[in-house]
Amino acid sequence: MHSPASFKNLLFKILNIAPHEVGRILEAWSIRLCFQTGFVIGWTMLTAIIVKEFGITMLPWMYMVNALLIVAGSFIYSQIIYAFENRKLIIVSIITALVLLVLDATVFAENMTIFLAVTLVILSVFVSQLHIMLLAFIEELFTPNENERANPIIETSEPLGGIIGGSILALLAGHIHVTDFTYFWAFFMLIIIPILLFFYRKRHRFMTLIPSADAKETGSSRGNRVSHGIKHLRAIPFVRFLAIVIFCQWMFVNILNYQYTKAVDESLGHGPVAESNHAIDTSHTSIDTHAEDDHVEKTTAVKEQKADGHGESNAHEDLLTHGLGTLHIVFSSLMFLMQILLSSRLVARLGIVRAMRIMPGISLAGVLTMLLNFQFFTVIAAKGLYEMFLVVHTNAYHNSYYAISERIREQIREFLEGVMRPLGIFFGTGVLLLIQWLIPGEYLNTSLSLLMGAVLVTMLVLLSWMQGKYTLLAKKNLDLIGDHPEKHLAIEILSQRGHQDASEILTKNLIYKNESPRTKIKILKSLALLRDTTALPEIIAALDDPDEAVQQQACQTLAAYKKLGKHFFSQTFAKYRVVGALTDLFLRTQSKQLRSEIVQVFANIHHDDVVPFLLSRLEDGDDSIKADIINIIGMFHDINAGYYIEKYLDHADSMIRAQTIIALWQFKKYRLKLMIHLTALLDDEEDTEQLLAGIFVLGETKSIQEIPRLLHYLKSDNSDIRTAAAVALAKLGKTEAVEQLLEAMLEGQESHGAAVKQKVRHVESYYVKMLNAHLERHILAKMEEEFGNKKELILDDLPMDKLRNLKYYYELLEHDHAILKIEHMIKRKELAAEKKDA
């Protein structure tokens, strides 16, 4: 029977998230769920009332007004209110929308025209801007790497919101007046505020690092983001293509939604689609003008009747609300399954831009079915296909923003979401009205299907061209001089699939002599993900880099090529070069850590040429490398290796004896003898070096029966023994080690702390995530103690020792963005001090 702790660890592993990310994911997920549920209720209510009051022909005009109001809202927010903090602005916007919703439901409901106008303003101005702000707010909660893991989970809130909203509409339509759904909408909007406030108090937040007081973004500099977005549109080809894709997407969506709503309305007995479905006669699948006139007359007659919420006059809107709500449940369920099962996998497998092509490609197939046979089921199928694959498109679209500089990212988002999206809606509606005016009713559906098909083909062409622009933007950021956050993000982007010649672009910067070690390490990490064998010569060359950290990462990257021996070593010269480079580095380095990394690569190679080298160095080499060589030999998993290394069980060096025990532990025939030697290492507690070697063996051999002994060592007066015991317990998955590991990383010397973190790097991934969660909390507490409880920290005000402490904290957490900012400030202060001394 599994314990709750093991179940939690399994859950974290399945979801691919860390424990310290759970609170932020839950916050983002809850907010998105409430927002989407309220939006589905509000938009469906508005659509049903407009169709009931004015007829389906009025729907395009509503779309146009909606688009104009969204643009107006974007300009208002960008010009006036962006001086506020994002969280406060979200709360103010929700409160304003709630006041209008309450007035709408209580005062304006008597006059349907005013009710509809106010509802449209709430949706178009406040809700649309709230959507943009929530996207930015959620993005700020996570780093790019965290967002890649968290976003697929957060996105499941959208289809679930659709299911909840659709269920409320389907269950209550006909039982309450349609305007009373406003109260449900207001309720879900209201819930967002306590969620924000609750998690804001609970959340451990890192301070925003600002280089100097002059660098703080003021309200005036943040304002007018729309005009800045237009400027960036001209300057960045990728953004230009993305803007046109957004425009085309919403032009298509607008026409599809019109056809979908019309099909649902007519299926309820209000038009020719219903008639064609009942008669099973495809010759009547298009709308004729006489049927449309009859529908308008019916609508007018309904308007003249007195509505009480339950009478005959409301039957149409109740049926339409119920129908739309039911279909929302179906579509949202499909979206949820797609999000859980396929979305993130498709984005990871295909890359960002290729994943964005799926939605228009699949939607085009749906539109073709409408073109061949326009009826209720083909329209619903087209809508369903779009909604299903929209989640893949949305995930890829939001991730594409990381290619854009953080400095201008929000300006571009505001422009794309607040201007290009409504422009697509407005233009699509304009073309829809023009076609309705010019094309006879019998050809209307065919014309609209052809138009939607043309828009989708345009999107596919644009997206095929956009891949090169996406790669080019990443390459441009990578070519920036010095270390920049944009540069490191560009490296991450180029490690995604879909880029042409990504390895070539990365390796070009890797061999650049003036490139910083930090950037080289980042490139090597990305090459480890790509595992492109054409990059191996440059990775091998990095073994000769003057910086030891780069050499270590080059070894780790080579170790990531799991089939290195099989694929690469079929080439004679390549084999000779790699074995030669590794053996040369192994012999000349004095770094135990670097030798350990080389060991991992040798374990991958398993090549005949390695064995003679290992045995010769074992016999003739000095004692400083024998322990590492025995470690490598043990990784060959060959019982015959015992013939060569068994004699080292009696060696004078305790670490050589320890590595021999570990190498032979896998073979049962040696086990009894090894236990005697292990006991000898552990029994003499006066010999610290020998005891540390014994503790190391307990961790490497997963000796669970010795856990009580290791827990006893955690109470030792010797800090080295406590730390060694903690590392061994971590390898055994015991949480009792966490406190001592944190003490070793945070209270001792920086070099010692970094070494401890390195030692636990290869333990189970769930344990590393759990340890990082504790580490983050402790570092936040130390930062509050050292720098105060501030939201912003001005680096220029800090003395050098404080800056170095801050840098070390972020290095432990591997927050590259913050490290770069601090390093820039340290260099600036050092240059200023040199000039002053001169």
Q: What angle do CA 429, 430, 435 make, to 5 degrees?
A: 95
What's the pLDDT score for residue 53?
83
**CA separation for the pair 34, 40 (Å, rounded):** 10
Amino acid of residue 627: A
Q: DSSP class of residue 762? A: T
Residue 623: which pLDDT band, with cuts at 50, 70 and 90? confident
pLDDT in tens, 457-491: 999 999 999 999 999 998 888 887 766 777 888 88
Residue 371 burial class via C-beta count within 10 angstroms: exposed 0-12, middle 13-18, buried 19 and up: middle
Question: HSE (CB half, 13 Å, CA atoms) of 636?
Answer: 19
Between 221 and 618, where is the model more confident?
618
DSSP, residue by residue, 705-717? GGHHHHHHHTT-S
Residue 223 has pLDDT above 50, yes or no: no
What's the pLDDT score for residue 288?
40
Residue 563: which pLDDT band, with cuts at 50, 70 and 90? low
**CA separation for the pair 520, 491 (Å, rounded):** 10
User: According to the per-residue pLDDT averaged within each range, which of 224-228, 675-679, 735-739, 826-830 is highest?
Assistant: 675-679
Nearest to 696 by CA among 738, 673, 667, 663: 663
What's the pLDDT score for residue 118?
92
Between 609 and 459, where is the model more confident?
459
CATH number at residue 225: 1.20.1250.20
For residues 153-162, one letter each, b for 16 or more C-beta atoms within 10 angstroms of the residue's C-beta and e for the rest, the string is bbbbbbbbbb
What's the pLDDT score for residue 462?
95
pTM of the model: 0.72
| Beta-ladder partners of 636 | none
Q: Which two tokens stand for residue 267?
A: 């299926």
What's the pLDDT score for residue 294?
44
What's the pLDDT score for residue 86?
73
Question: HSE (CB half, 13 Å, CA atoms) of 759?
Answer: 23
Residue 215 has pLDDT above 70, yes or no: no
Residue 574: inside a domain: no
Tally of structural domains, the chain: 1
Check if the beta carbon of residue 192 is closer than 8 Å to that of residue 35: yes
Q: DSSP class of residue 173? A: B
**CA separation for the pair 567, 549 (Å, rounded):** 27
Nearest to 287 by CA among 424, 165, 439: 439
Between 727 and 300, where is the model more confident?
727
Quote the domain boundaries for residue 320.
22-205+217-471
pLDDT in tens, 669-725: 999 999 999 999 998 778 899 999 999 999 999 999 999 999 999 999 999 999 999
**CA separation for the pair 328, 499 (Å, rounded):** 36
Residue 698: inside a domain: no
Residue 446 has pLDDT above 80, yes or no: yes
What's the pLDDT score for residue 639?
93
**CA separation for the pair 292, 437 (Å, rounded):** 13
Q: Which two tokens stand for residue 254?
A: 């607008």
Residue 37: inside a domain: yes
Which of these ranges, 70-84, 231-245, 349-363, 584-598, has the smallest mean pLDDT? 70-84
Instruction: Please state the rounded mean pLDDT for residues 596-602.
Output: 78
Residue 286 has pLDDT above 70, yes or no: no
Q: DSSP class of residue 703? A: -
Check if the beta carbon of residue 328 is closer than 8 Å to that of residue 358: no
Close Cβ partners of 160 (under 8 Å, ≥ 6 residues apart):
33, 36, 332, 336
pLDDT in tens, 775-784: 888 888 888 8
Residue 183: which pLDDT band, with cuts at 50, 70 and 90? very high
Amino acid of residue 198: F
Check if the beta carbon of residue 92 is closer than 8 Å to that of residue 382: no
**CA separation for the pair 415, 225 (Å, rounded):** 7
Residue 572: inside a domain: no
What's the pLDDT score for residue 782?
85
Residues present in the chain in total:
838
Check if the beta carbon of residue 250 is closer than 8 Å to that of residue 460: no
Which of these ranges, 67-76, 196-205, 455-464, 611-620, has the smallest mean pLDDT? 196-205
Q: What SS3 state is found at 793?
A: strand
Residue 186: which pLDDT band, with cuts at 50, 70 and 90? very high
Q: What is the 3-state secondary structure (H, E, C) of 76-140?
A: HHHHCHHHCCHHHHHHHHHHHHHHHHHHHHHCHHHCHHHHHHHHHHHHHHHHHHHHHHHHHHHHH
Which of these ranges, 72-86, 405-419, 683-697, has the smallest mean pLDDT? 72-86
Between 309 and 648, where is the model more confident?
648
Residue with tokens 């290729």: 354
Nearest to 210 by CA among 800, 790, 833: 790
Q: Which two tokens stand for residue 461?
A: 């062409």
Residue 490: inside a domain: no
What's the pLDDT score for residue 227?
67
Residue 616 has pLDDT above 70, yes or no: yes
Residue 355: which pLDDT band, with cuts at 50, 70 and 90? very high
Residue 113: inside a domain: yes
Residue 663: inside a domain: no
Residue 71: inside a domain: yes
